[in-house]
Amino acid sequence: FGCGAIGLGVIATSQLVGASRIIAIDTNPSKAAWARKFGATDFVNPTTLPEGKKIQEFLVELTDGGLDYTFDCTGNVG
């Protein structure tokens, strides 16, 4: 969660250690390209989900059960 400097570092490190799927999540759509350059396989902007759909529900569906690890790298918690 979060694709700023810290989030991009987590993405790059996840790729280095062999993560097969790296889902980047950020409310700023312009960060999608950077996330992919650093190794993200997917990018999700939670503000564009269907009305009433929570990010948690979306991720469980996207991954067919849930995530092994998550990292909170958000700067804006609003």
Per residue of the chain (78 residues), give pLDDT as tens.
999 999 999 999 999 999 999 999 999 999 999 999 999 999 999 999 999 999 999 999 999 999 999 999 998 766
Handedness of CA 63, 64, 70, 74 (dihedral sign): positive
Q: Identify each DSSP E strand in the chain by its residue range.
A: 23-25, 42-44
The per-residue pLDDT for 75 is: 83
The per-residue pLDDT for 77 is: 67
Q: What is the pTM of this model?
A: 0.90
The per-residue pLDDT for 78 is: 64
